[in-house]
Amino acid sequence: MYRLLLGLSLMFAALPACATEDSTAAHEAVAAGAKLIDVRSPEEYASGHLDGAVNIPFDQVAERIREVGPPDAAVVVYCQSGGRSGVAAQVLREAGFTKVIDIGPMHAW
């Protein structure tokens, strides 16, 4: 699983750094109670993160899915450039989460 996620993250890293979904929708979702998840490394998270975000590194999302909440919970994910958040969003969707917003890079917030 880790190798698959690593491969996907490398593939997504080649994509341009832009928000993959509307940041206005993400703000509204978080204001309404959506969980905000920073999928960067613990070191990146410690160096600065969005207020209220919890850190679940992208390669641990599948293992820590219970921390995200029930599949009908709204979730907003972000990372540094958009690659890892894309991988995390896909993992969540494959696990049955239907309200996933991927804003891509943190600066898109």
pLDDT at 21 (0 to 100): 57
25-51: pLDDT as tens digits: 999 999 999 999 999 999 999 999 999
pLDDT at 18 (0 to 100): 41
Q: Which of 79, 101, 103, 106 is catalytic?
A: 79
pLDDT, mean over the chain: 86
Question: How deeply is 40 buried, as exposed, middle or buried, from its count of CB atoms within 10 A (0-12, 13-18, 19+)?
Answer: buried
Q: Report phi then psi at 79, rounded to 5.
A: -145, -150
Is residue 79 part of the annotated active site? The answer reads yes
Domains and CATH numbers, the chain: 2-108 (3.40.250.10)
